[in-house]
Amino acid sequence: MPETKTIRILIADDHEMVRHGLAGFLGAFPDFQLVGQASNGTQAVKLCGDTRPDVVLMDLIMPEMDGVTATNLIKEKYPEIQVIALTSAKDEATTNRALQAGAIAYLHKDISIHDLGNAIRSAAVGKPTLSPDAFSVLVKSVTAQPPTNQDFTLTNRELDVLRLLVKERTNAEIAVDLSISLSTVKTHISNIMSKLGVRTRSEAVRVATQNRLFGT
């Protein structure tokens, strides 16, 4: 059997007991490795540079620098790092800000261990996970805005890749579906994000839906 890839994880939360509990949870899974803990956003950004985790579990309400600001900086400096917003905040404004900052997932702290583990694994391969209320916020933000009628000049192949991104396919799945190499998929996704003016897959899906790029 192929060796399971270890997912390197950073915890950012200002409550020591929460960090301790999450650290214990991560230690129970052989494919998770805790590489650092931060008590505020400033530390989280620095530790991302020092440890280069695959996934960050990010609290949103923290002193010195909040989790939304930290997420934004992390995605600017280290776009390959995926951020999961793990928070008790359920208001629409905070949810919107976190998603716009580039969080690939938005989950509440009462999530089950099983679901959190699956969300971490999904994030590590670029697949989003949203709580039901966060999903509703995303849908609302898309439907509330009229299409811009901007010409994004995507190629037919880029549109094919974008359609599969909307269906939450991983890079490997897209490569199989379109019979192209994984490196070609990554190139197409990079070109798509550049043309759409976005930094994350979820933003690309939002822009594609908002602008009816598939003629819907």
Q: What is the pLDDT of residues 45-78, one digit of tens each?
A: 999 999 999 999 999 999 999 999 999 999 989 9
Could you tell me which residue, 113 or 210, shows the higher pLDDT?
Answer: 113
Dist CA 42 CA 47 (whole Å): 9
- Strand (E) positions, the chain? 7-12, 32-38, 55-58, 82-87, 105-108, 129-130
Whole-structure pTM value: 0.68
Domains of the chain, first to last: 7-141 (3.40.50.2300), 147-210 (1.10.10.10)
Distance, C-alpha 24 to centroid of its chain: 23
| d(C-alpha 209, C-alpha 170), whole Å | 19
Nearest CA to 162 out of 136, 138, 195, 140 is that of: 195
Task: Record the tokens describing residue 156, joined without a space.
Answer: 């037919």
Q: Which residues pair with 11 in a beta bridge?
A: 37, 57
pLDDT one-digit tens code per residue, 126-163:
888 887 665 555 545 444 454 444 557 888 898 899 88
Secondary structure E strands in 60-199? 82-87, 105-108, 129-130
Q: Which range has the top average pLDDT, 21-35, 97-111, 142-156?
A: 21-35
